[in-house]
Amino acid sequence: MNTLDRIRELNNCLMKKGFTVNFQSFSHYLTEKFDLPSYSERSFNRDMRDLKDLLAERFPDLEKEGELIKFSRARNEFYLIRENLTAFSGFSQQEMEQLSQSIELNKHLFTDGTGKGIFQKLAAIGLENRLSKYHQEVTWPVLQLIKDGERSGEQWLEPLMEKIYRLEVVELVHKGLKQSSGLKRLKGLPVLIKEYNNGWYTGWYLLFYPIKKDSHLVRPNVNDLWCFALDRILEVNSLPEKYEVRISTDFKPNTYFDHILGIISQQAAGQKPERIELALKSNSWLLNYLKKYPIHASQKLSETEATYIIELKMEINRELEDFIFQHLDEFQVLSPQRLKDGLRNRLKLLIPL
Protein backbone atom coordinates (compact mmCIF):
# COMPACT_ATOMS: atom_id res chain seq x y z
CA MET A 1 0.00 0.00 0.00
CA ASN A 2 1.61 3.25 -1.09
CA THR A 3 1.58 6.57 0.76
CA LEU A 4 -1.09 8.19 -1.40
CA ASP A 5 -3.47 5.26 -0.85
CA ARG A 6 -2.95 5.55 2.92
CA ILE A 7 -3.68 9.28 2.83
CA ARG A 8 -6.84 8.63 0.82
CA GLU A 9 -8.00 6.07 3.39
CA LEU A 10 -7.22 8.52 6.18
CA ASN A 11 -9.38 11.12 4.43
CA ASN A 12 -12.19 8.56 4.05
CA CYS A 13 -12.04 7.66 7.75
CA LEU A 14 -12.28 11.33 8.71
CA MET A 15 -15.48 11.57 6.65
CA LYS A 16 -17.06 8.47 8.23
CA LYS A 17 -19.64 9.26 10.87
CA GLY A 18 -18.91 7.47 14.13
CA PHE A 19 -15.28 6.68 13.26
CA THR A 20 -12.85 8.11 15.85
CA VAL A 21 -9.65 9.00 14.03
CA ASN A 22 -6.40 8.76 15.98
CA PHE A 23 -3.21 6.76 15.55
CA GLN A 24 -4.50 3.66 17.33
CA SER A 25 -7.83 3.46 15.50
CA PHE A 26 -6.37 4.18 12.05
CA SER A 27 -3.52 1.70 12.54
CA HIS A 28 -6.06 -0.97 13.54
CA TYR A 29 -8.20 -0.06 10.49
CA LEU A 30 -5.25 -0.52 8.10
CA THR A 31 -4.34 -3.85 9.68
CA GLU A 32 -7.89 -5.20 9.55
CA LYS A 33 -8.84 -3.99 6.08
CA PHE A 34 -5.55 -4.12 4.19
CA ASP A 35 -3.49 -6.53 6.29
CA LEU A 36 -0.79 -3.88 6.68
CA PRO A 37 1.98 -5.52 8.76
CA SER A 38 3.23 -2.38 10.51
CA TYR A 39 2.34 1.28 10.69
CA SER A 40 4.19 3.64 12.98
CA GLU A 41 2.93 6.73 14.76
CA ARG A 42 5.58 8.69 12.89
CA SER A 43 4.06 7.55 9.57
CA PHE A 44 0.60 8.49 10.85
CA ASN A 45 1.73 12.02 11.75
CA ARG A 46 3.38 12.41 8.35
CA ASP A 47 0.27 11.17 6.54
CA MET A 48 -1.90 13.56 8.55
CA ARG A 49 0.41 16.46 7.72
CA ASP A 50 0.38 15.58 4.00
CA LEU A 51 -3.42 15.32 4.02
CA LYS A 52 -3.69 18.77 5.60
CA ASP A 53 -1.44 20.15 2.86
CA LEU A 54 -3.54 18.55 0.11
CA LEU A 55 -6.75 19.93 1.61
CA ALA A 56 -5.22 23.40 1.92
CA GLU A 57 -4.16 23.23 -1.72
CA ARG A 58 -7.64 22.24 -2.87
CA PHE A 59 -9.58 24.61 -0.59
CA PRO A 60 -7.39 27.73 -0.24
CA ASP A 61 -10.30 29.99 0.75
CA LEU A 62 -11.33 27.69 3.60
CA GLU A 63 -7.75 27.22 4.73
CA LYS A 64 -7.44 30.98 5.31
CA GLU A 65 -9.89 30.55 8.19
CA GLY A 66 -7.60 28.03 9.91
CA GLU A 67 -6.61 24.37 9.71
CA LEU A 68 -9.10 22.13 7.93
CA ILE A 69 -8.25 19.20 10.22
CA LYS A 70 -8.19 19.83 13.96
CA PHE A 71 -7.44 17.69 17.02
CA SER A 72 -9.61 17.43 20.12
CA ARG A 73 -7.60 16.54 23.21
CA ALA A 74 -10.78 15.92 25.19
CA ARG A 75 -12.01 13.30 22.69
CA ASN A 76 -8.55 12.19 21.52
CA GLU A 77 -9.50 12.42 17.87
CA PHE A 78 -8.81 14.32 14.67
CA TYR A 79 -11.80 15.80 12.86
CA LEU A 80 -12.68 17.84 9.76
CA ILE A 81 -13.96 21.37 10.33
CA ARG A 82 -16.65 20.65 7.73
CA GLU A 83 -18.37 17.40 6.78
CA ASN A 84 -17.24 15.53 3.67
CA LEU A 85 -14.13 17.58 2.92
CA THR A 86 -11.95 15.51 0.62
CA ALA A 87 -8.55 16.17 -0.91
CA PHE A 88 -9.27 13.72 -3.71
CA SER A 89 -11.54 14.49 -6.64
CA GLY A 90 -11.43 11.11 -8.37
CA PHE A 91 -11.51 7.36 -7.72
CA SER A 92 -8.41 5.51 -6.55
CA GLN A 93 -7.21 2.53 -8.56
CA GLN A 94 -8.55 0.21 -5.88
CA GLU A 95 -11.95 1.96 -5.91
CA MET A 96 -12.06 1.73 -9.70
CA GLU A 97 -11.35 -2.01 -9.51
CA GLN A 98 -14.08 -2.47 -6.90
CA LEU A 99 -16.50 -0.47 -9.05
CA SER A 100 -15.61 -2.53 -12.12
CA GLN A 101 -16.19 -5.76 -10.20
CA SER A 102 -19.57 -4.52 -8.95
CA ILE A 103 -20.63 -3.60 -12.48
CA GLU A 104 -19.44 -6.95 -13.81
CA LEU A 105 -21.57 -8.77 -11.23
CA ASN A 106 -24.64 -6.62 -11.98
CA LYS A 107 -24.66 -6.32 -15.76
CA HIS A 108 -28.46 -6.48 -15.82
CA LEU A 109 -28.55 -2.95 -14.39
CA PHE A 110 -26.68 -1.57 -17.40
CA THR A 111 -28.56 -3.04 -20.35
CA ASP A 112 -31.04 -0.31 -21.18
CA GLY A 113 -32.12 3.31 -20.74
CA THR A 114 -31.52 4.25 -17.13
CA GLY A 115 -28.67 1.74 -16.76
CA LYS A 116 -26.66 3.33 -19.55
CA GLY A 117 -27.26 6.66 -17.85
CA ILE A 118 -25.14 5.49 -14.92
CA PHE A 119 -22.16 5.12 -17.24
CA GLN A 120 -22.81 8.59 -18.65
CA LYS A 121 -22.91 10.04 -15.14
CA LEU A 122 -19.64 8.33 -14.21
CA ALA A 123 -18.02 9.64 -17.38
CA ALA A 124 -19.23 13.17 -16.60
CA ILE A 125 -17.95 12.94 -13.02
CA GLY A 126 -14.60 11.66 -14.29
CA LEU A 127 -14.36 14.60 -16.68
CA GLU A 128 -15.07 17.08 -13.91
CA ASN A 129 -12.45 15.41 -11.73
CA ARG A 130 -9.81 15.67 -14.45
CA LEU A 131 -10.56 19.37 -14.80
CA SER A 132 -10.46 19.98 -11.04
CA LYS A 133 -7.25 22.02 -11.30
CA TYR A 134 -9.40 24.83 -12.71
CA HIS A 135 -11.81 24.83 -9.76
CA GLN A 136 -10.21 27.92 -8.23
CA GLU A 137 -11.11 29.92 -11.34
CA VAL A 138 -14.72 28.69 -11.59
CA THR A 139 -16.44 29.22 -8.26
CA TRP A 140 -19.72 27.41 -9.06
CA PRO A 141 -20.39 23.71 -9.68
CA VAL A 142 -20.27 23.02 -13.41
CA LEU A 143 -21.94 19.59 -13.17
CA GLN A 144 -25.42 19.07 -11.75
CA LEU A 145 -26.86 15.56 -11.61
CA ILE A 146 -30.52 14.67 -11.06
CA LYS A 147 -31.31 15.02 -7.35
CA ASP A 148 -27.69 14.16 -6.43
CA GLY A 149 -28.68 10.57 -5.66
CA GLU A 150 -31.84 11.33 -3.70
CA ARG A 151 -34.69 8.92 -4.41
CA SER A 152 -38.18 9.04 -2.91
CA GLY A 153 -38.95 5.89 -0.93
CA GLU A 154 -35.31 4.85 -0.66
CA GLN A 155 -35.77 3.77 2.99
CA TRP A 156 -37.66 0.69 1.73
CA LEU A 157 -35.11 -0.29 -0.90
CA GLU A 158 -32.97 -2.63 1.21
CA PRO A 159 -35.73 -4.45 3.14
CA LEU A 160 -37.78 -5.02 -0.02
CA MET A 161 -34.81 -6.26 -2.03
CA GLU A 162 -34.10 -8.71 0.77
CA LYS A 163 -37.69 -10.00 0.58
CA ILE A 164 -37.45 -10.32 -3.22
CA TYR A 165 -34.29 -12.41 -3.05
CA ARG A 166 -35.86 -14.62 -0.39
CA LEU A 167 -39.08 -15.02 -2.43
CA GLU A 168 -40.90 -14.06 0.76
CA VAL A 169 -44.60 -13.23 0.87
CA VAL A 170 -45.19 -10.07 2.92
CA GLU A 171 -47.92 -7.70 4.01
CA LEU A 172 -47.73 -4.17 2.62
CA VAL A 173 -49.44 -1.28 4.36
CA HIS A 174 -50.02 1.35 1.68
CA LYS A 175 -51.71 4.75 1.48
CA GLY A 176 -52.56 6.41 -1.82
CA LEU A 177 -51.55 9.96 -2.67
CA LYS A 178 -55.07 11.42 -2.42
CA GLN A 179 -56.09 12.81 0.97
CA SER A 180 -59.24 10.70 0.78
CA SER A 181 -57.24 7.48 0.35
CA GLY A 182 -57.42 5.08 3.26
CA LEU A 183 -54.87 2.55 4.44
CA LYS A 184 -54.70 -0.69 2.46
CA ARG A 185 -53.23 -3.94 3.73
CA LEU A 186 -52.17 -6.29 0.95
CA LYS A 187 -50.54 -9.70 1.07
CA GLY A 188 -48.34 -10.67 -1.81
CA LEU A 189 -44.94 -11.29 -3.32
CA PRO A 190 -42.60 -8.38 -4.14
CA VAL A 191 -40.76 -9.20 -7.39
CA LEU A 192 -38.99 -6.14 -8.81
CA ILE A 193 -37.97 -2.57 -7.96
CA LYS A 194 -37.65 0.06 -10.68
CA GLU A 195 -36.13 3.53 -10.61
CA TYR A 196 -38.11 6.14 -12.53
CA ASN A 197 -37.82 9.88 -13.16
CA ASN A 198 -40.96 11.64 -14.36
CA GLY A 199 -39.24 14.98 -14.99
CA TRP A 200 -40.29 16.27 -11.57
CA TYR A 201 -38.78 13.82 -9.10
CA THR A 202 -37.01 10.48 -9.12
CA GLY A 203 -38.38 7.58 -7.11
CA TRP A 204 -38.42 3.83 -6.57
CA TYR A 205 -41.40 1.71 -7.58
CA LEU A 206 -42.30 -1.84 -6.57
CA LEU A 207 -43.88 -4.54 -8.71
CA PHE A 208 -46.04 -6.64 -6.41
CA TYR A 209 -48.02 -9.83 -7.01
CA PRO A 210 -51.10 -9.79 -4.72
CA ILE A 211 -52.29 -13.18 -3.51
CA LYS A 212 -55.81 -14.38 -2.89
CA LYS A 213 -56.99 -14.31 0.69
CA ASP A 214 -56.90 -18.03 1.47
CA SER A 215 -54.25 -19.16 -1.02
CA HIS A 216 -50.91 -20.52 0.19
CA LEU A 217 -49.65 -21.46 -3.26
CA VAL A 218 -48.13 -18.47 -5.06
CA ARG A 219 -47.62 -18.60 -8.84
CA PRO A 220 -46.94 -15.04 -10.00
CA ASN A 221 -47.66 -13.93 -13.56
CA VAL A 222 -46.87 -10.60 -15.19
CA ASN A 223 -50.46 -9.77 -16.16
CA ASP A 224 -51.55 -9.64 -12.51
CA LEU A 225 -48.74 -7.44 -11.16
CA TRP A 226 -49.47 -4.18 -9.36
CA CYS A 227 -47.14 -1.20 -9.13
CA PHE A 228 -46.63 0.83 -5.93
CA ALA A 229 -44.52 3.91 -5.24
CA LEU A 230 -42.18 3.09 -2.37
CA ASP A 231 -42.77 6.46 -0.73
CA ARG A 232 -46.47 5.54 -0.28
CA ILE A 233 -45.60 2.34 1.61
CA LEU A 234 -45.94 2.72 5.38
CA GLU A 235 -45.04 -0.80 6.54
CA VAL A 236 -43.51 -4.01 5.18
CA ASN A 237 -44.44 -6.85 7.53
CA SER A 238 -43.30 -10.46 7.61
CA LEU A 239 -46.08 -13.05 7.90
CA PRO A 240 -46.31 -16.05 10.22
CA GLU A 241 -48.00 -18.20 7.56
CA LYS A 242 -45.98 -20.45 5.27
CA TYR A 243 -46.38 -20.01 1.52
CA GLU A 244 -45.19 -22.14 -1.37
CA VAL A 245 -43.79 -19.92 -4.13
CA ARG A 246 -43.46 -21.43 -7.60
CA ILE A 247 -41.76 -19.33 -10.26
CA SER A 248 -42.27 -20.47 -13.86
CA THR A 249 -39.34 -20.29 -16.26
CA ASP A 250 -41.14 -17.72 -18.44
CA PHE A 251 -41.90 -15.30 -15.58
CA LYS A 252 -40.07 -12.06 -16.46
CA PRO A 253 -41.50 -9.21 -14.35
CA ASN A 254 -39.54 -6.57 -16.27
CA THR A 255 -41.84 -7.20 -19.28
CA TYR A 256 -44.56 -5.42 -17.26
CA PHE A 257 -43.15 -2.18 -18.72
CA ASP A 258 -42.96 -3.34 -22.35
CA HIS A 259 -46.16 -1.69 -23.57
CA ILE A 260 -46.28 1.53 -21.57
CA LEU A 261 -44.73 4.94 -21.35
CA GLY A 262 -43.73 5.55 -17.76
CA ILE A 263 -44.42 3.35 -14.78
CA ILE A 264 -48.11 2.36 -14.46
CA SER A 265 -49.73 -0.38 -16.55
CA GLN A 266 -53.43 -1.23 -16.45
CA GLN A 267 -52.97 -4.78 -17.73
CA ALA A 268 -54.16 -6.18 -14.39
CA ALA A 269 -57.45 -4.35 -15.09
CA GLY A 270 -57.66 -5.92 -18.54
CA GLN A 271 -56.23 -3.10 -20.66
CA LYS A 272 -54.36 -4.17 -23.79
CA PRO A 273 -51.89 -2.32 -26.05
CA GLU A 274 -53.68 -0.28 -28.71
CA ARG A 275 -52.70 1.07 -32.12
CA ILE A 276 -52.11 4.81 -31.78
CA GLU A 277 -51.56 7.27 -34.61
CA LEU A 278 -50.17 10.78 -34.21
CA ALA A 279 -49.44 13.33 -36.92
CA LEU A 280 -46.40 15.60 -36.85
CA LYS A 281 -45.57 18.42 -39.25
CA SER A 282 -42.58 17.69 -41.48
CA ASN A 283 -40.81 20.84 -40.29
CA SER A 284 -41.39 20.17 -36.57
CA TRP A 285 -38.35 20.52 -34.33
CA LEU A 286 -39.44 17.26 -32.63
CA LEU A 287 -38.80 15.17 -35.73
CA ASN A 288 -35.05 14.70 -35.33
CA TYR A 289 -35.51 13.87 -31.65
CA LEU A 290 -38.15 11.25 -32.42
CA LYS A 291 -35.88 9.64 -35.00
CA LYS A 292 -33.07 9.41 -32.48
CA TYR A 293 -35.13 8.86 -29.32
CA PRO A 294 -38.37 6.95 -30.11
CA ILE A 295 -41.35 7.51 -27.85
CA HIS A 296 -41.67 3.73 -27.50
CA ALA A 297 -39.99 0.63 -28.90
CA SER A 298 -43.02 0.05 -31.17
CA GLN A 299 -42.69 3.45 -32.87
CA LYS A 300 -42.90 3.56 -36.68
CA LEU A 301 -42.47 6.73 -38.74
CA SER A 302 -43.95 7.17 -42.20
CA GLU A 303 -43.80 10.32 -44.33
CA THR A 304 -46.73 11.83 -46.22
CA GLU A 305 -46.81 15.01 -48.30
CA ALA A 306 -46.76 17.51 -45.42
CA THR A 307 -46.63 15.40 -42.27
CA TYR A 308 -45.06 12.42 -40.59
CA ILE A 309 -47.33 9.74 -39.18
CA ILE A 310 -46.18 8.24 -35.89
CA GLU A 311 -47.60 4.79 -35.23
CA LEU A 312 -47.36 3.23 -31.77
CA LYS A 313 -48.58 -0.01 -30.21
CA MET A 314 -48.92 0.58 -26.49
CA GLU A 315 -51.29 1.12 -23.59
CA ILE A 316 -53.03 4.45 -23.22
CA ASN A 317 -52.10 5.72 -19.78
CA ARG A 318 -51.61 8.98 -17.91
CA GLU A 319 -47.92 9.25 -18.85
CA LEU A 320 -48.71 8.99 -22.57
CA GLU A 321 -51.40 11.65 -22.29
CA ASP A 322 -49.00 13.88 -20.33
CA PHE A 323 -46.36 13.49 -23.05
CA ILE A 324 -48.86 14.54 -25.74
CA PHE A 325 -50.01 17.50 -23.61
CA GLN A 326 -46.40 18.58 -23.25
CA HIS A 327 -46.19 18.94 -27.04
CA LEU A 328 -49.75 20.04 -27.86
CA ASP A 329 -48.57 22.50 -30.49
CA GLU A 330 -46.65 19.77 -32.37
CA PHE A 331 -48.89 16.69 -32.36
CA GLN A 332 -52.29 15.94 -33.80
CA VAL A 333 -54.00 12.81 -32.46
CA LEU A 334 -55.49 10.76 -35.30
CA SER A 335 -56.58 7.64 -33.42
CA PRO A 336 -57.95 5.95 -31.40
CA GLN A 337 -61.08 7.85 -30.41
CA ARG A 338 -60.64 6.87 -26.76
CA LEU A 339 -57.35 8.76 -26.59
CA LYS A 340 -58.93 11.80 -28.27
CA ASP A 341 -61.81 11.80 -25.80
CA GLY A 342 -59.53 11.46 -22.80
CA LEU A 343 -57.38 14.40 -23.87
CA ARG A 344 -60.44 16.51 -24.70
CA ASN A 345 -61.97 15.86 -21.25
CA ARG A 346 -58.74 16.81 -19.51
CA LEU A 347 -58.59 20.04 -21.50
CA LYS A 348 -62.14 20.90 -20.40
CA LEU A 349 -61.11 20.44 -16.77
CA LEU A 350 -57.99 22.54 -17.31
CA ILE A 351 -59.78 25.39 -19.09
CA PRO A 352 -63.49 25.46 -18.14
CA LEU A 353 -65.74 27.02 -20.78
For residue 92, being part of any structural domain is answered with: no
Contacts of 196 (CB under 8 A, 6+ apart): 114, 202, 203, 204, 205, 262, 263
For residue 26, being part of any structural domain is answered with: yes
- The CATH number of residue 232's host domain is 2.30.30
Instruction: Locate all alpha helices (DSSP H) within the chain, ordered by sequence.
Output: 3-15, 23-34, 41-58, 60-63, 93-105, 113-130, 157-166, 286-292, 318-326, 337-350
- Structurally, the chain folds into a number of domains equal to 4
CA distance 328 to 350: 14
Domain termination residue (choose one: 113, 144, 175): 144
Alpha-carbon Rg for the chain in angstroms: 27
Task: Quote the domain boundaries for residue 41.
Answer: 3-80
For residue 216, being part of any structural domain is answered with: yes
Are 198 and 110 part of one and the same domain? no
226: Cα separation from own chain's centroid: 20
- The CATH number of residue 296's host domain is 3.30.70
Are 133 and 190 part of one and the same domain? no
Q: Which backbone phi and psi does 129 adopt, to 5 degrees?
A: -65, -40
Q: Are 163 and 139 in contact (CB under 8 A)?
A: no
Residues in the chain: 353
What is the four-CA torsion angle of 97, 100, 106, 110, rounded to 10 degrees? 160
Q: pTM for this one?
A: 0.61
**Which pLDDT tens digits describe the chain residue by residue (353 residues)?**
789 889 989 998 998 888 999 999 999 999 988 888 889 999 999 999 999 998 888 888 776 778 889 999 999 999 998 876 788 765 555 555 566 566 656 656 655 545 555 666 666 666 666 655 555 555 555 555 555 555 667 788 888 888 898 899 999 998 887 777 788 899 999 999 888 876 666 778 899 999 987 888 899 999 999 999 888 999 999 999 999 999 988 899 989 999 998 888 888 778 899 999 999 988 899 999 999 999 999 999 999 888 999 999 999 999 999 999 989 889 999 999 999 999 999 888 888 76
Q: Which backbone phi and psi does 320 adopt, to 5 degrees?
A: -65, -45
CA distance 51 to 22: 14
Are 177 and 196 part of one and the same domain? yes
For residue 93, being part of any structural domain is answered with: no
